[in-house]
Structure 1
């Protein structure tokens, strides 16, 4: 599955983990119900945010949940899953996003898509998903033409882009598409007043999605000779990071203007986890259950951290509280500002030994066997990835394995049903952002 918001389940309370899984499974089953079994391969982490936003505005209701039967991806367990218009809108958006991803790979001639017969088959699949997404969107009053138009414009913009082209020009089609999807959740929830701030949040989310994908794929694209926004425009990592930080700030401000019934999960995903996604892409943070950093588990209580909750969010820009200086801490010798003169990203230069800093000898030590940098594995093509994904599904590795290799990206992933007894820093973030040192609000 693809997506930039991939919350580590070790940081979620049981209640929030159940809610997140309910939306993930609801999206998967909505795809199967409307478009058949094969459509389930487009299930993605970012698409379910549309379902989460719809529920957060309309409030929890028994009519919005149903009990799904046993599934291999849940270890053959039943579960309460999301249903209704939010899940179906998420399915429609996911189909069009997947279609766009296929077309982008075809245009970049990645992997097997260099071959004309394979590329032709991929285009046919993408066109079918476009039509399927349009049918579902039409039943919900959502015109997917804005998404398809954004995909079509993207190719032309990339062809004209060159050194000096602002990154925001390249990300504009993605911003427009996600803004439309976010805004329509307000219509489905019966809160039209939320459309404008949600569109703004969606615009920034689209910018983040595009930039983080470019940052993560930069090395692999260079090895394959594929087009990459950062390489094509000559933008530095510092410039990309500043845009990402601005987008995080914009999302937070926009969400404060939205009227939610219960925004706990929205706050976790679009404030906490989105910031961690940025840190992960730029190599400045790691998951707590691996022994790095100090984020704590989120509480499962309801409430609105943007309005009438027991506390107000801290101003954007609070520096993360890292531990004692060590060889693996990129902030050991510099200030807390991400783009300051002593930051590892100032001027676009990475610290020695890789994005994590230090001398490449480990996260906290100064001796031992040095680690040599490893070349990232090349992503699989679309059809090869589908074959691997089917194998992962049939063997239940997607849910039960402690760690597995992503079918397309070949990056390390964690089984979605894994539990551990780590407590992080032991704090209880109730959505009110009182524990700044742990949750980095």
Structure 2
């Protein structure tokens, strides 16, 4: 769900290799503690736990030199130490989530018949490894295991509700296990960093992060799940895509408030690796469900303010752009809501970012009229750009929240 952009790292004065440092540290930590095959459990969102832990430490964290790796072009690199508390917590989370995912694939019949038994054994092995690892950092993992087990039960109840007299299962019940797991993992970063005063706020932030993760996955899979008769929490609870998007927005706002209360919202690495990618994710989801239409600048060429998309002033023209190109002025008429196709939704939600075509067109600034090359052409961001639409490098002309560009706002 999260993949920070190297352009944003430059903006914050952070080495863009920092994300890779945490990812490689997690991968090597899984290898050293649980064998080569455990590296397949590397979860890029779990890297955030290592980042959160380091962000609360008073001094720099330990780094170690990793050997050559094909994924780094056979280069050595300075990576987070495999035995650091943040990496141990991140690897615990990766093993737990990997175990649950394997078990889900077997339960859903996605695995080939001959692969089902080995996958089940691997799931059990990873769950046991997570317990051992959690003991090293005094983390009680059993409530998380119980929550993961409860997920299948509540989904079964929701799926059979139509044919039973039981009270309907709510969307909150379906997202609760994910929210609980993320909440406890986030809170434990404060314990590992010896900042217990942050634990409550981080628990709130984690709860909403888990909710966003669950809902964004449900939105991404909606078309495919309903087309193939598979379980989807939105369909099971009669929640529309627009309603689920509003819930994502609410959780994003609550997460930011909690991090601000814990005084982490202004830590550059947290903004770069969590808040900016979340901002871009929310914007992309909004576009996918028809809730967000376009890039809108606050000022016209003569300095007069444009109407915001949310303003109910249909007589005031607003300047819109699509993929970096200006559209004709409109009067605020809203396009019909559409559901994203599965390919589009997966690309938007799961981090398959723009690769230099379609959305990365050159851009005419709505503020000055100046035409610029798409900024990715002149930097090393490559395909990891997290801009929601235009990848335009429109600079500071947009107010945060209007343009949806995590790397410019």
Q: What TM-score range do you get, normalising by the shorter chain?
A: 0.7 to 0.9
1:109 to partner: Cα distance: 2.1
- Could you say which residue in structure 1 is the equivalent of 2:368? none
- Report the Cα distance in structure 1 between the residues aligned to 2:265 and 2:60, rounded to whole angstroms: 11
1:261: how far off?
A: 11
Would you say the 8 A contact 1:109–1:226 is kept in 2?
no
Q: Distance in 1 between matches of 2:309 and 2:78?
A: 37
Where structure 2 has 5 or more consecutive residues not aligned to the other structure, the ranges are: 163-167, 298-307, 312-317, 347-351, 357-378, 386-390
Distance 1:261 1:172 in 2: 25
Structure 1 residues 435, 116: CA separation in 2 closer, same or farther (over 3 Å shift)? closer
Q: 1:7 aligns with which of 4, 7, 15?
A: 4
Alpha-carbon distance in structure 1 between the residues aligned to 2:105 and 2:198: 35
2:319 is matched with which residue: 319, 324, 331? 324
Name the structure 2 match of 1:47: 46
Asked if the contact 1:59/1:262 (under 8 Å) is kept, the reply is no
Deviation at 1:36, TM superposition (A): 1.2
CA shift, 1:116, in A, is 4.2
RMSD across aligned positions (CA): 3.9
| 1:249-291 per-position Cα deviation (integer Å, ceiling 9, x unaligned) | 0100000111459721112233221121233344459xxxxxx
Deviations 1:185-228, CA, capped at 9 Å, x for gaps? 00100001111000000000000111111111112223332211
Gaps of 5+ in 1: 286-291, 296-316, 336-341, 356-373, 380-397, 404-416
Q: Which has the higher contact order (CA 8 A, sep 6+)?
A: 1
Paired position in structure 1 for 2:218: 214
d(CA) in 2 for partners of 1:294 and 1:133?
Answer: 46
Indicate which of 146, 149, 167 corresponds to 2:146. Answer: 149
The alpha-carbon deviation at position 56 of structure 1 amounts to: 0.2
2:135 equivalent among 134, 138, 162: 138
1:178 to 182, 206, 211: 182
User: Per-residue displacement from partner, 1:366-403 (whole Å, max 9, x unpaired)?
Assistant: xxxxxxxx8749x9xxxxxxxxxxxxxxxxxx9xxx69
- May I ask how many residue pairs the two structures share in their alignment? 340
What are the equivalent positions in structure 2 for 1:202-351 lying under 5 Å apart? 202-260=206-264, 263-284=267-288, 324-325=319-320, 350-351=337-338
Whether contact under 8 Å (2:296, 2:402) holds in the other structure is no
Give the match's secondary structure for 2:16.
helix
CA distance in 2, matches of 1:105, 1:28: 22
Task: Please say which structure displays the higher CA radius of gyration.
Answer: 2
Contact kept, 8 Å, 2:319 with 2:328, in 1: the verdict is no
> How high is the TM-score relative to the length of structure 2?
0.72
1:362 is aligned to: none
Counterparts of 2:331 and 2:173, CA distance in 1: 32
Normalised by the size of structure 1, how large is the TM-score?
Answer: 0.67
Show the counterpart of 2:124.
127
